[in-house]
Amino acid sequence: MTSPPIALTIAASDPSGGAGIQADLKAFSANGAYGTAVLTALTAQNTLGVTGIHAIPPAFVIEQLDTLFADVPVDAVKIGMLADAGIAAAVAEALERHRPRYVVLDPVMVSTSGHRLLEADAVTVLRDRLLPLADLITPNLPEAGDLLGTAAAKNRAEAIEQAHALLTTGARRVLLKGGHHTHDAESVDILVDATHATGTGAAGVRELSAPRVNTRNTHGTGCTLSAAIAALRPQHDDWHTTVSAAKAYLTGALRAADTLHIGRGHGPVHHFHQYWS
Protein backbone atom coordinates (compact mmCIF):
# COMPACT_ATOMS: atom_id res chain seq x y z
CA MET A 1 0.00 0.00 0.00
CA THR A 2 1.16 3.49 -0.81
CA SER A 3 1.01 6.22 1.81
CA PRO A 4 -1.58 7.65 1.65
CA PRO A 5 -3.62 4.96 -0.13
CA ILE A 6 -4.71 5.88 -3.65
CA ALA A 7 -8.37 5.36 -4.49
CA LEU A 8 -9.94 5.54 -7.95
CA THR A 9 -13.55 6.36 -8.71
CA ILE A 10 -14.97 5.22 -12.05
CA ALA A 11 -18.23 7.12 -12.26
CA ALA A 12 -20.18 10.03 -13.70
CA SER A 13 -19.97 13.71 -12.88
CA ASP A 14 -22.59 15.50 -10.77
CA PRO A 15 -22.47 19.30 -11.22
CA SER A 16 -24.27 19.82 -7.90
CA GLY A 17 -21.39 18.12 -6.09
CA GLY A 18 -23.52 15.78 -4.00
CA ALA A 19 -23.09 12.50 -5.87
CA GLY A 20 -20.90 10.94 -8.56
CA ILE A 21 -17.19 11.62 -8.79
CA GLN A 22 -17.52 14.84 -6.82
CA ALA A 23 -18.95 13.01 -3.82
CA ASP A 24 -16.47 10.17 -4.23
CA LEU A 25 -13.44 12.47 -4.25
CA LYS A 26 -14.73 14.27 -1.14
CA ALA A 27 -15.31 10.95 0.65
CA PHE A 28 -11.85 9.71 -0.36
CA SER A 29 -10.21 12.82 1.08
CA ALA A 30 -12.30 12.81 4.26
CA ASN A 31 -11.24 9.21 4.89
CA GLY A 32 -7.50 9.61 4.32
CA ALA A 33 -7.10 8.50 0.70
CA TYR A 34 -5.73 10.33 -2.33
CA GLY A 35 -8.48 10.47 -4.93
CA THR A 36 -8.24 9.84 -8.66
CA ALA A 37 -11.13 9.69 -11.15
CA VAL A 38 -12.11 8.27 -14.52
CA LEU A 39 -15.27 9.73 -16.02
CA THR A 40 -17.96 7.51 -17.56
CA ALA A 41 -20.57 10.19 -18.24
CA LEU A 42 -21.47 13.82 -17.80
CA THR A 43 -24.84 14.60 -16.25
CA ALA A 44 -26.97 17.71 -16.10
CA GLN A 45 -28.46 17.62 -12.63
CA ASN A 46 -29.09 19.51 -9.43
CA THR A 47 -30.72 18.71 -6.11
CA LEU A 48 -34.12 18.57 -7.84
CA GLY A 49 -33.24 15.91 -10.40
CA VAL A 50 -31.40 14.80 -13.53
CA THR A 51 -32.24 16.49 -16.84
CA GLY A 52 -29.67 14.90 -19.14
CA ILE A 53 -26.87 12.35 -19.50
CA HIS A 54 -23.98 12.48 -21.98
CA ALA A 55 -22.08 9.17 -22.01
CA ILE A 56 -18.32 9.08 -22.62
CA PRO A 57 -17.28 6.87 -25.60
CA PRO A 58 -16.22 3.44 -24.25
CA ALA A 59 -12.86 3.60 -26.03
CA PHE A 60 -12.01 6.82 -24.22
CA VAL A 61 -13.05 5.30 -20.87
CA ILE A 62 -10.51 2.54 -21.56
CA GLU A 63 -7.89 5.10 -22.55
CA GLN A 64 -8.42 6.99 -19.30
CA LEU A 65 -8.03 3.79 -17.28
CA ASP A 66 -5.00 2.48 -19.17
CA THR A 67 -3.22 5.83 -18.96
CA LEU A 68 -3.87 6.13 -15.22
CA PHE A 69 -2.85 2.55 -14.35
CA ALA A 70 0.32 2.90 -16.43
CA ASP A 71 1.58 5.51 -13.98
CA VAL A 72 -0.37 5.55 -10.71
CA PRO A 73 -0.35 2.61 -8.20
CA VAL A 74 -4.05 2.44 -7.42
CA ASP A 75 -4.86 0.65 -4.14
CA ALA A 76 -8.65 0.52 -4.37
CA VAL A 77 -11.33 1.12 -7.01
CA LYS A 78 -14.90 2.27 -6.55
CA ILE A 79 -17.23 1.78 -9.54
CA GLY A 80 -20.34 3.93 -9.71
CA MET A 81 -22.61 5.02 -12.58
CA LEU A 82 -21.78 3.31 -15.88
CA ALA A 83 -24.69 4.57 -18.02
CA ASP A 84 -24.75 1.94 -20.77
CA ALA A 85 -23.62 -1.54 -21.78
CA GLY A 86 -20.66 -0.32 -23.83
CA ILE A 87 -19.17 1.58 -20.91
CA ALA A 88 -19.81 -1.31 -18.51
CA ALA A 89 -18.03 -3.70 -20.86
CA ALA A 90 -15.14 -1.26 -21.30
CA VAL A 91 -14.62 -0.97 -17.55
CA ALA A 92 -14.77 -4.75 -17.16
CA GLU A 93 -12.20 -5.23 -19.95
CA ALA A 94 -9.78 -2.75 -18.40
CA LEU A 95 -10.11 -4.14 -14.87
CA GLU A 96 -9.62 -7.70 -16.11
CA ARG A 97 -6.22 -6.59 -17.39
CA HIS A 98 -5.11 -4.33 -14.55
CA ARG A 99 -6.53 -6.33 -11.60
CA PRO A 100 -6.50 -3.72 -8.81
CA ARG A 101 -6.27 -5.12 -5.30
CA TYR A 102 -9.68 -3.97 -4.03
CA VAL A 103 -12.81 -3.30 -6.10
CA VAL A 104 -16.05 -1.92 -4.66
CA LEU A 105 -19.01 -1.89 -7.04
CA ASP A 106 -21.98 0.37 -6.36
CA PRO A 107 -24.59 -0.66 -8.97
CA VAL A 108 -26.06 2.80 -9.59
CA MET A 109 -29.31 2.31 -11.50
CA VAL A 110 -31.84 4.97 -10.47
CA SER A 111 -31.29 8.45 -8.99
CA THR A 112 -32.92 9.68 -5.78
CA SER A 113 -35.35 11.67 -7.95
CA GLY A 114 -36.31 8.54 -9.93
CA HIS A 115 -34.27 9.11 -13.12
CA ARG A 116 -32.99 5.91 -14.76
CA LEU A 117 -29.15 6.03 -14.72
CA LEU A 118 -28.33 2.60 -16.18
CA GLU A 119 -29.80 1.35 -19.44
CA ALA A 120 -31.61 -1.97 -19.21
CA ASP A 121 -29.17 -3.86 -21.45
CA ALA A 122 -26.28 -2.73 -19.27
CA VAL A 123 -27.66 -4.61 -16.27
CA THR A 124 -26.73 -7.92 -17.90
CA VAL A 125 -23.15 -6.77 -18.55
CA LEU A 126 -22.85 -5.45 -15.01
CA ARG A 127 -24.14 -8.71 -13.55
CA ASP A 128 -22.19 -11.10 -15.79
CA ARG A 129 -18.84 -9.32 -16.15
CA LEU A 130 -18.39 -6.79 -13.34
CA LEU A 131 -19.89 -8.57 -10.34
CA PRO A 132 -17.29 -11.38 -10.55
CA LEU A 133 -14.50 -8.74 -10.53
CA ALA A 134 -15.82 -7.01 -7.42
CA ASP A 135 -14.64 -7.76 -3.90
CA LEU A 136 -17.78 -6.07 -2.57
CA ILE A 137 -21.01 -4.89 -4.17
CA THR A 138 -23.22 -2.34 -2.39
CA PRO A 139 -26.76 -2.40 -3.83
CA ASN A 140 -29.74 -0.86 -2.09
CA LEU A 141 -32.95 -2.88 -1.90
CA PRO A 142 -34.42 -1.79 -5.29
CA GLU A 143 -31.05 -2.29 -7.01
CA ALA A 144 -30.70 -5.81 -5.60
CA GLY A 145 -34.14 -6.66 -6.91
CA ASP A 146 -33.26 -5.18 -10.29
CA LEU A 147 -30.07 -7.23 -10.51
CA LEU A 148 -32.00 -10.40 -9.66
CA GLY A 149 -35.01 -9.59 -11.85
CA THR A 150 -37.39 -9.59 -8.91
CA ALA A 151 -39.15 -7.22 -6.51
CA ALA A 152 -37.22 -5.42 -3.78
CA ALA A 153 -37.00 -7.22 -0.43
CA LYS A 154 -39.73 -6.19 2.02
CA ASN A 155 -38.18 -7.54 5.24
CA ARG A 156 -34.96 -8.84 6.81
CA ALA A 157 -35.49 -12.46 5.74
CA GLU A 158 -36.08 -11.50 2.11
CA ALA A 159 -33.07 -9.16 2.18
CA ILE A 160 -30.75 -11.93 3.41
CA GLU A 161 -32.17 -14.30 0.81
CA GLN A 162 -31.49 -11.79 -1.97
CA ALA A 163 -27.99 -11.08 -0.70
CA HIS A 164 -27.22 -14.80 -0.87
CA ALA A 165 -28.73 -14.95 -4.35
CA LEU A 166 -26.37 -12.17 -5.48
CA LEU A 167 -23.42 -14.27 -4.31
CA THR A 168 -24.43 -16.93 -6.82
CA THR A 169 -23.92 -14.39 -9.62
CA GLY A 170 -20.22 -14.28 -8.79
CA ALA A 171 -19.91 -11.50 -6.20
CA ARG A 172 -17.64 -12.37 -3.26
CA ARG A 173 -19.38 -10.10 -0.77
CA VAL A 174 -22.64 -8.17 -0.71
CA LEU A 175 -23.50 -5.17 1.44
CA LEU A 176 -27.27 -4.86 1.03
CA LYS A 177 -28.23 -1.37 2.16
CA GLY A 178 -31.46 -1.16 4.12
CA GLY A 179 -32.05 2.58 3.94
CA HIS A 180 -35.25 2.15 1.92
CA HIS A 181 -36.98 0.59 4.95
CA THR A 182 -37.86 4.11 6.07
CA HIS A 183 -40.39 2.96 8.67
CA ASP A 184 -37.66 1.44 10.84
CA ALA A 185 -35.99 3.45 13.62
CA GLU A 186 -32.66 1.85 12.73
CA SER A 187 -30.92 1.78 9.36
CA VAL A 188 -29.73 -1.83 9.07
CA ASP A 189 -27.36 -2.98 6.35
CA ILE A 190 -26.65 -6.66 5.76
CA LEU A 191 -23.11 -7.82 4.95
CA VAL A 192 -22.92 -11.31 3.45
CA ASP A 193 -19.45 -12.72 2.84
CA ALA A 194 -18.93 -15.87 0.79
CA THR A 195 -15.36 -16.16 2.09
CA HIS A 196 -16.61 -16.48 5.70
CA ALA A 197 -18.74 -19.56 5.34
CA THR A 198 -20.20 -21.34 8.36
CA GLY A 199 -19.73 -25.01 9.11
CA THR A 200 -22.74 -25.79 6.92
CA GLY A 201 -21.17 -23.97 3.99
CA ALA A 202 -23.54 -21.00 4.19
CA ALA A 203 -22.05 -17.53 3.69
CA GLY A 204 -21.43 -15.52 6.83
CA VAL A 205 -24.07 -12.86 7.60
CA ARG A 206 -23.54 -9.74 9.72
CA GLU A 207 -25.92 -6.88 10.39
CA LEU A 208 -24.66 -3.32 10.75
CA SER A 209 -27.10 -0.99 12.44
CA ALA A 210 -27.14 2.78 12.98
CA PRO A 211 -29.88 5.16 14.14
CA ARG A 212 -31.90 6.46 11.18
CA VAL A 213 -31.23 10.17 10.58
CA ASN A 214 -34.31 12.28 9.93
CA THR A 215 -33.22 14.45 6.98
CA ARG A 216 -34.31 15.01 3.40
CA ASN A 217 -30.68 15.75 2.45
CA THR A 218 -29.69 12.28 1.32
CA HIS A 219 -28.39 13.00 -2.20
CA GLY A 220 -25.33 10.86 -2.85
CA THR A 221 -25.55 8.59 0.19
CA GLY A 222 -24.85 5.46 -1.86
CA CYS A 223 -21.93 7.04 -3.70
CA THR A 224 -20.49 8.34 -0.45
CA LEU A 225 -20.72 5.03 1.41
CA SER A 226 -19.11 2.95 -1.33
CA ALA A 227 -16.37 5.56 -1.83
CA ALA A 228 -15.65 5.61 1.90
CA ILE A 229 -15.38 1.81 1.88
CA ALA A 230 -12.88 1.93 -1.00
CA ALA A 231 -10.83 4.62 0.76
CA LEU A 232 -10.79 2.76 4.08
CA ARG A 233 -10.23 -0.83 2.93
CA PRO A 234 -6.43 -0.45 2.44
CA GLN A 235 -6.30 1.03 5.95
CA HIS A 236 -8.11 -1.83 7.75
CA ASP A 237 -7.52 -5.54 8.17
CA ASP A 238 -10.89 -6.86 6.98
CA TRP A 239 -14.11 -5.93 5.23
CA HIS A 240 -16.35 -5.94 8.31
CA THR A 241 -14.18 -3.39 10.12
CA THR A 242 -13.94 -1.32 6.93
CA VAL A 243 -17.69 -1.27 6.29
CA SER A 244 -18.42 -0.46 9.94
CA ALA A 245 -16.07 2.55 9.81
CA ALA A 246 -17.55 3.73 6.51
CA LYS A 247 -21.10 3.44 7.85
CA ALA A 248 -20.15 5.47 10.95
CA TYR A 249 -18.67 8.16 8.66
CA LEU A 250 -21.85 8.28 6.55
CA THR A 251 -24.05 8.52 9.64
CA GLY A 252 -22.08 11.57 10.76
CA ALA A 253 -22.34 13.07 7.28
CA LEU A 254 -26.12 12.59 7.33
CA ARG A 255 -26.47 14.10 10.80
CA ALA A 256 -24.66 17.25 9.64
CA ALA A 257 -26.37 17.44 6.24
CA ASP A 258 -28.98 20.01 7.26
CA THR A 259 -26.27 22.55 8.07
CA LEU A 260 -25.23 22.91 4.42
CA HIS A 261 -28.38 24.42 2.79
CA ILE A 262 -27.46 23.39 -0.78
CA GLY A 263 -30.25 23.65 -3.36
CA ARG A 264 -34.02 23.35 -3.04
CA GLY A 265 -34.38 19.57 -3.35
CA HIS A 266 -32.59 16.61 -1.84
CA GLY A 267 -29.37 18.24 -0.70
CA PRO A 268 -26.03 16.47 -0.21
CA VAL A 269 -24.65 14.85 2.90
CA HIS A 270 -21.84 16.75 4.67
CA HIS A 271 -18.69 14.99 3.51
CA PHE A 272 -16.38 17.10 5.67
CA HIS A 273 -18.46 17.18 8.84
CA GLN A 274 -15.42 16.17 10.92
CA TYR A 275 -13.40 19.16 9.75
CA TRP A 276 -15.79 22.09 9.18
CA SER A 277 -17.16 23.95 12.16
Among residues 20, 43, 179, 223, which one is catalytic? Answer: 223
User: For the residues of 49-78, what is the DSSP string, one character each?
Assistant: EEEEEEEPPHHHHHHHHHHHHTT----EEE
Cβ atoms 249, 241 nearer than 8 A: no
pTM tops 0.85: yes
- Give the pLDDT score at 113: 58
- Give the pLDDT score at 183: 59
CA distances, 233 to each of 44, 152, 230, 273 (Å):
31, 28, 5, 21
- Residue 223 designated active-site: yes
- Residue 51 designated active-site: no
Among residues 26, 78, 177, 247, which one is catalytic? Answer: 177
Among residues 36, 43, 138, 221, which one is catalytic? Answer: 221
Among residues 17, 35, 179, 220, which one is catalytic? Answer: 220
Among residues 18, 80, 222, 252, which one is catalytic? Answer: 222
Cis peptide before 4 (omega within 30 of 0): yes
Give the C-alpha separation, 96 to 98, whole Å. Answer: 6
Among residues 9, 112, 218, 224, which one is catalytic? Answer: 218
- Residue 177 designated active-site: yes
- Residue 221 designated active-site: yes
- Residue 170 designated active-site: no
Q: Tens digit of pLDDT per residue, the chain (277 long)?
A: 668 999 999 999 999 999 999 999 999 999 999 999 999 999 999 999 999 999 999 999 999 999 999 999 999 999 999 989 999 999 999 999 999 999 999 998 776 556 667 777 888 899 899 999 999 999 999 889 888 989 989 888 899 999 999 998 888 999 999 865 555 678 889 999 987 655 445 568 898 988 889 999 999 999 999 999 999 999 999 999 999 999 999 999 999 999 999 999 999 999 999 999 7
- Give the pLDDT score at 93: 97
- Give the pLDDT score at 186: 82
Pairing of strands 186-193, 173-176: antiparallel
- Give the pLDDT score at 195: 79
- Residue 18 designated active-site: no
